Structure 1
């Protein structure tokens, strides 16, 4: 082959690559960043210009519902396949002044729930038309002046009358959270039908599913095995015996809470330790003999508890993640062989970490990796230049699968929605 033939081959290959890149963009949509994708995955940018999009949901007709914290609104994106990607056919605000984070649909898809600092609200919902009914608060009494205003919510197909509502701590170290009656740093379950008749008070109503969880921002139900899972943002600025150990401790946490309709659920009501006990990510840095990844220990300036209480009488997570990476959502694929987790990214460590979507592999309803593993995460979508974070990168928040196995990802910092194919 001569030099001209070689050059022609290079030009032809370049043309194919350009065509492939352009095929990943919807008309009029230009993403701000070019994510680095894990093996077997590709992406497209679905939407830009949203106002602080947080959690998202796919309705029964395949439309994407987006909770915009920036405008406290819900938007309905009607989607349409265009070649090998999906694009937005129409974008309409369907609810205003309703949310700052959470969104969920009932098991039958006919009721839409949103959450904000103070309450959870329900609306009748028609997926075909996007019509919503009158706002009906079903859980109230959650407001306080503090550092964690999100109220993650999730619904169940295994227990269709149940909604889960998480309420975080009032501050980094919330000393009152040692009292279960404070109704902070916990996940509670509520009857939807009863809430539609008369709103539940968060503090006095419902049932405690789990507590001692500093700030739960994402929850989900395993679609095949029925288990409830949460991802937790743990303590900042950690010190032990006057020594600063915060850069690599404590671990962020994935926790298991059993099956809601299991009358003998042994995980129901367990205490996970916060604020007195936190999980280790880098045990050597902590410096306590025998400590493993995920082991609970007592740091400085927390409510007094005997060290044995942390080791023996508090529940540990099922998997653990790099300190301060801030997991904000978790969703399973259709056959429950993997859970995908959105890490919003750190502000309390140097260098920065997180700012990615990863996969955790599952088998028979549980992660395949041991609780002490530091290698359970498989890269799916990452920032190409994490050194530019947090100011100049995408920051994943919400996740949602559609029936075709496409994974939608919101980025609040950039006002974008991405789609991951191959999940």
Structure 2
């Protein structure tokens, strides 16, 4: 009986596989990348929906399902989407929403979808926005100013869903090592929240105003709010060209960081407003390569350069350590939680300052009860979902992830700035990409890169007692012929 059941399942799997293949082939428009096709984890598929954009960075989906994308040297553009059978998604036209070539990354929408926010290196603006026409009206309101840097110029924006009047703004460092960040009053390398319901005719000054959520943050480009508890997390790009006690250790140290910044609703948190170490202290990744590494583990804060009475590992141990640490030079640029808080998706833009390239991938951090499942010293903090098959070809011949956004169907959209592309990542079983298990961040058990068909076939094969049965071989022949 078990063998018969498995044979029936195998036949069913063959026909489902054929249906999946046919539906994929039915897309009226198929865009092709100029580089090797990305590798995708079992249970997911990735398709290009737009190409030839001007350095697409931050991305949001408006209430009508349009993609709003910050493109450097242009401003903000809107892309209409067309859905077809088989999960095919194509962009039908591109319309300029805001012309401002100083906009470079940050973008946000109000919960009702009628106010659009975006940032230059120095200002945060707000426009009245109509999702039906995909246009703004009137002149923008300047909400925040006073953020100019010579170095890192992106100003990531996040509008809290738990405390809707609070707009979070991240400001990075002036250089690789920015000594101004040692002074909390400088406004450099900080994450702040601003009550935009209280804006008067004078905009906020970033340095003097706002609620401090953290300082000593070199360049926290990705900012996310865990949806269940409201906890605020950032992903930080750490320092390049690091030396310790005269030795160059920059290949694998320091690690990039996932930092926790407390809550916006008044819930007490020891981390909120604290010092995260930069420019003196950094997170260890490859501990064995760090000179004088006594008592250091992955994620430990350690001192840069030559240790002295003012800068040493004991002082650094008093700084706020990351909740998780990633390999050096991965360059995380966005963090986006799924709808039930069981996974945080992170885009890793990839390295520029490492002999062997690293990163260039989309990954998931499993979450439970408002925090990562993995311990803070984990050396395997993520589950990879989409990556380039040969990072040795990067950065010139691969995609480079930046911005992430959900649409109302739970599909994940991702920009790739260097290649001028937008991908959509969907589930092969038809479920929401935003659904994930709390232990792996992957789709529910039983899905694979071949969809339900492949998982059913695998189940049938494992249950059969006669793997060389002539009947099963016949089934295999039928499968191959479909």
* TM-score, structure 2 normalization: 0.81
User: Does residue 82 in structure 1 map to residue 88 in structure 2?
Assistant: no
The 5 Å alignment of 1:75-154 reads 75-83=77-85, 84-97=87-100, 99-133=103-137, 134-145=139-150, 147-154=151-158
The 5 Å alignment of 1:2-401 reads 19=22, 22-23=25-26, 27=29, 29-33=31-35, 34-69=37-72, 71-83=73-85, 84-97=87-100, 99-133=103-137, 134-145=139-150, 147-195=151-199, 197-287=201-291, 288-300=293-305, 304-311=310-317, 313-401=318-406
Q: 1:241 to 1:306 in 2, by over 3 A?
A: closer
How big is each residue's C-alpha offset from its partner over 1:190-233, in whole Å with a ceiling of 9 and x where there is no partner? 11122364211111111211011100111011122211110000
* In 2: Cα distance, 1:174 partner to 1:30 partner: 42
Structure 2 gaps, min length 5: 1-14, 428-432, 434-482
- Aligned partners of 2:245 and 2:306 also within 8 Å: no
* In 2: Cα distance, 1:123 partner to 1:353 partner: 38
- Aligned partners of 2:106 and 2:157 also within 8 Å: yes
* In 2: Cα distance, 1:395 partner to 1:302 partner: 36
Larger Rg: 2
* In 1: Cα distance, 2:246 partner to 2:357 partner: 24
Larger RCO (alpha carbons 8 Å, 6+ apart): 2
* In 2: Cα distance, 1:179 partner to 1:301 partner: 21
* In 1: Cα distance, 2:49 partner to 2:270 partner: 42
* In 1: Cα distance, 2:279 partner to 2:347 partner: 24
Q: 1:196 to 1:45 in 2, by over 3 A?
A: farther
* In 1: Cα distance, 2:258 partner to 2:88 partner: 31
* TM-score, structure 1 normalization: 0.92
- Aligned partners of 1:26 and 1:45 also within 8 Å: no
Q: Secondary structure at the match of 2:316?
A: helix
How big is each residue's C-alpha offset from its partner over 1:80-109, in whole Å with a ceiling of 9 and x where there is no partner? 211112221332111010511110112332
- Aligned partners of 1:67 and 1:103 also within 8 Å: yes
* In 2: Cα distance, 1:152 partner to 1:26 partner: 36
Per mean C-alpha deviation after superposition, the further-off stretch among 45-54 and 281-290 is 281-290
RMSD: 2.1
How big is each residue's C-alpha offset from its partner over 1:266-320, in whole Å with a ceiling of 9 and x where there is no partner? 3321110000100001111114111000000001179942432211x21011111
Structure 1 gaps, min length 5: 1-11
How big is each residue's C-alpha offset from its partner over 1:27-69, in whole Å with a ceiling of 9 and x where there is no partner? 2633333110012110110100100000101112221110001
* In 2: Cα distance, 1:415 partner to 1:180 partner: 37
Runs of 4+ in 1 over 6 A off after TM superposition: 12-18
Q: 1:130 to 1:300 in 2, by over 3 A?
A: same
